[in-house]
Amino acid sequence: MGREDDAPGDASAASRAIHLTRKPLLIVHVGPGKTGSSAIQRYLLGNAGELASRRILYPLGADGLELAPFTGNALDLARLLTGSQEDLMAAAGAIDDELARYESLARRDNCDTVIVSSEFFGNVDSSGFELFKKLAAPRFDLRIVAMIRDPYWWLWSAWGQGVKRGGESESFRDFLPKHQSFFFDVILQLIKCFDDVRLVAYSEDRLIEDFGRATGVDLSGLRVGMPPRLNRSLSKDELAVLLLVNRTFADPVLSTHISNSMLAKSPDAVPYRYYDRELADLVRRSNAEALAAAQPRIVNPEVPIIETDTGFERNVEPDDLANLATQFDADLLKGILRSIRVAWGQQSGLALRTLQGKARRPAQLPDAAEELPPDFNEIEYLLLNEDVLLAGADPVEHYFQHGRDEGRPYCRPRPVATPTN
């Protein structure tokens, strides 16, 4: 019941012996991100025991522990394959060890198919994939499975994920031109590097069914069904608030804590989808040739790639922050400050009116503004100096009158945002 070329239901000892004399099939689910990867990974993990009884192995991490949500079971392998040529050469031994572990587990458990999954494979370049293919070939037959999606709506989802988890502060209109070919660059790279590449037209309603069709293994009738909606996208108000937070703090850790709080508070909020016909036409035209090249590999061609552009909001994009001040009410500000304390480990007081006022208006700088450090931030100065916040003092005035001479901190160190898939 594992590989598609097996006799259905044949579990005899002789058949098992034959299975163990040939190379197992290694199915690599690449993602990419924002194509239902988390739901597929939760489904495979929840049914790992039953899959093993069908000779399909979904291996856990090297420590045997259940992996964290949203990473898949091959995050470490994907990271090893990402880097410069020198990094890859240094990691070759560790990559081969991981492949040897998969092979050993498959033979131990009489499995002839191994499935590994991580959306971070989307960050691997051709050099990484060529090394992977070279090291895997002696141990496995290889099959690559990836989802394919309307490039406009994929970019919208990727941008929203960046706002939610990566500190992204650009508007969608500015973000799209810089990343418009990323998704199909990944797909074309897979087609170039591997012989057996199977693409799945993304459909949330048929996700597992079509994934099973692409892998060629039996995923039907498993005990644990599809998980509830994971990692939902942000609502319009949530996007607008986080954009302002990101433009103020540029801290992915902070935006992650705030978005987690938002999702927990309103798990059923309706995700916002903004349709811009001009941008959609631009990105679809620029990816038309790549889409045509991918078409023969799609296992479910009856599912349309390009979504019909109906039913989506067509009003102003949620990055016009001119009127956002009205959303900074006391409850929201309390939630943000709680998230700041968690993310920064800081016990700042809740001087709401002071902070609210600074969030609502641009900095009012004195004539000596040219003496301010270029990275001075009013809101961060208040949060980093609790006594100033609680006193309701003006941060710029306090800095010039006291803070500069006292060596007060005036901004957070800026962490480097991790790439968002």
Q: How far apart are CA 224 and CA 231, in angstroms?
A: 19
pLDDT digits (tens, 9 = 90+) for 78-91: 999 998 999 999 99
Check whether 166 has a pLDDT greater than 50: yes
Looking at 13-22, 125-134, 299-308, which range is the least confident one?
A: 13-22
Mean pLDDT of 333-352: 50
| Structure token digits, residue 161 | 């994920």
**Amino acid letter at 230?**
L
First vs last Cα of the chain: how many Å apart?
Answer: 33
Check whether 311 has a pLDDT greater than 60: no
| Structure token digits, residue 3 | 């590989």
- List the domains of the chain with CATH numbers: 13-149+202-228 (3.40.50), 349-413 (no CATH)
pLDDT digits (tens, 9 = 90+) for 383-408: 677 677 667 677 888 998 999 999 98
Residue 6 CB neighbours (<10 A): 18
Q: How far apart are CA 183 and CA 391, in angstroms?
A: 50
| Structure token digits, residue 346 | 């800081």
| Structure token digits, residue 18 | 């034959």
Residue 275's H or E segment, with its range, is: none
Is the Cβ–Cβ distance between 158 and 34 less than 8 Å? yes
pLDDT value for 363: 44
Percentage with pLDDT > 70 across the chain: 72
What's this model's pTM, rounded to 2 decimal places?
0.74
Q: Residue 188 forms beta bridges with which residues?
A: none
pLDDT digits (tens, 9 = 90+) for 37-73: 988 998 999 899 999 999 999 998 766 554 555 578 9
Query: Helices 252-265 and 151-165 sit at what angle, rounded to 10 degrees?
Result: 100
